[in-house]
Amino acid sequence: MSNQLAVESSPPQTASQAGVASAATTELPQAARARLRAELEVQRTKNAQLRKELDLRDHALDSTSVQFTICKLADPVSIIVYCNRALAEQHGYQREELIGKPITILAPLGWSLENHRKLQARLLANETLRFEREAQRKDGSSFIRGATISPLMNEQGTVTHSLNISADITARVAFEGKQRELQEQLLSEMQQREHIAIELRLAQKLESVGRLAAGVAHEINTPIQFVNDSLYFLRTAFEDLNSLVNACRAAAAELPNNDSTREFLQSADSAVAAADLDFLQEEIPRAFERTFDGANRVASIVRAMKEFSFPDAHEHNYADINHALQNTLVVSRNEYKLVASVETHFGELPEVKCNVSELNQVFLNLIVNAAHAIQASGKDAATGVIAIRTSAAGGTVEIAISDNGCGIAPEHANKIFDPFFTTKEVGRGTGQGLAIARAAVVTRHGGTLSFDTEVGRGTTFYVRVPVGEVSETAVECRRAVDCA
């Protein structure tokens, strides 16, 4: 049209000039059309080649099990502009149902609009995101999806799209969960075996020490009996001699008053004064009482040692818990005598069917721990108190052992029954006492071992054991409840 406008505005031409112009006018459009056709053909070839490449890429992306999604970042949520077949099929859609839809259609369970906005803000900040979450299919079923979302930039360096590469990791997560479960089970079994081995070693050691202590107690008991017998003989002999002396004094008073008698009485009074007979008659009985008291105390300690350390293995027999506590206090007196006084409030208890040696060990551990806690709080025998109370109710005997020591820190409360856990300095505690006590009470007696504590005020441990025989099923149930 421009060419036509240019011809109409020109001055009149001759016939020859008009022929030349007409030929040029016809020839130029043909050349342009040829060039246009050539360019168009080249463009068609490029487009066909580009289409082949795109089809090849689509085919490659559709052939993989990895899920691809390209989204255009928009407010408030991104729009899906591409997804491969794997992603559509995994979510239960046709690809055409997803293209052009908000990404919320593929959102994980519990994913809110606010989550999308935060995620998009991080993408706009050129941050790559990774997550594993439960996703929902079109039919309502779910699976675990692991995804990596990367920002895509245009030529100006502006983030305009995001690339989401994801996969169904349900099987992997289940496998890893099973592995963790097996590892935890293996670890639990290893800890249990280690605990059993520790208990076995300690039981063997305690049995050896018990036999040795029982033997020593027996050996001590024989000479102590000799001492008691000799003391009884000496006291009886002194009483007889004292009676004789008093009789002689009475007889001397009845002698006639003459020079020879006065001389005899004067000589006798001198001998009595020299021997300090009055003092001896007053103090020797007291000395016998003190000696008898000491000998009886030694005998009671020997009896307590024999009962405390009696190696009765695994047998359960009826025993007096109050008497067992008294024996334990005798044996452990050296641990608490300088740091605390002991208050006992023993209730009326039925005899308990138990392994009394094991319970003696439990009581000993708790009393020694109480003494150490009082010492750690800075108290002494004048201010430190260990209180022991016993009671019975509902077929169960309860032993409460309290102290006014330092208490148990909250961060340690869940660990005190763990083997080898201790807050005591090296050489004073092994971390096995409470673990063994819990095993003895819970596992072998079907009871419970619990505590109340307040930092700076003290701790009370409660030992509860059934009065009669406990079935294996009941033991397992109580063990499960105690471990929970």
Q: How many CB atoms lie within 10 A of CB 4?
A: 9
* The predicted structure's pLDDT at residue 482: 47
Residue 366: partners with Cβ closer than 8 Å, 6 or more residues away? 401, 437, 461, 463
Q: Can you say how many angstroms the Cα of residue 98 is from the centroid of all Cα atoms in its chain? A: 49
> For the segment 411-455, what is each residue's pLDDT rounded down to a tens digit?
888 888 776 667 666 555 555 678 888 888 988 889 999 999 999
pLDDT at 327 over 60: yes
* Burial (CB count <10 Å: 0-12, 13-18, 19+), residue 397: buried
Instruction: Give the amino acid at 24.
Output: A
> For the segment 375-396, what is each residue's pLDDT rounded down to a tens digit?
989 898 899 999 999 999 889 9
* The predicted structure's pLDDT at residue 150: 93
Rounded to a whole number, what is the distance in angstroms from the first to the last CA of the chain? 94
- pLDDT, average across residues 85-102: 90
> For the segment 332-355, what is each residue's pLDDT rounded down to a tens digit?
888 898 999 999 999 999 999 988
- pLDDT, average across residues 389-408: 93
Compute the distance between CA of residue 187 and CA of residue 178 in angstroms, rounded to an integer.
14
Angle of helix 277-308 relative to helix 170-253, nearest 10 degrees?
160
Report how far apart, in Å, the C-alpha atoms of 111 and of each of 67, 74, 108, 131 are.
Answer: 19, 18, 5, 12
Furthest C-alpha separation in the chain: 208
Name, of 34-43, 229-238, 274-283, 319-328, the range with top average pLDDT: 319-328
Enter the pTM of the model: 0.46
Mean predicted lDDT score pLDDT of the chain: 80
Instruction: Give the amino acid at 168.
Output: D
Compute the distance between CA of residue 431 and CA of residue 363 in angstroms, rounded to an integer.
16
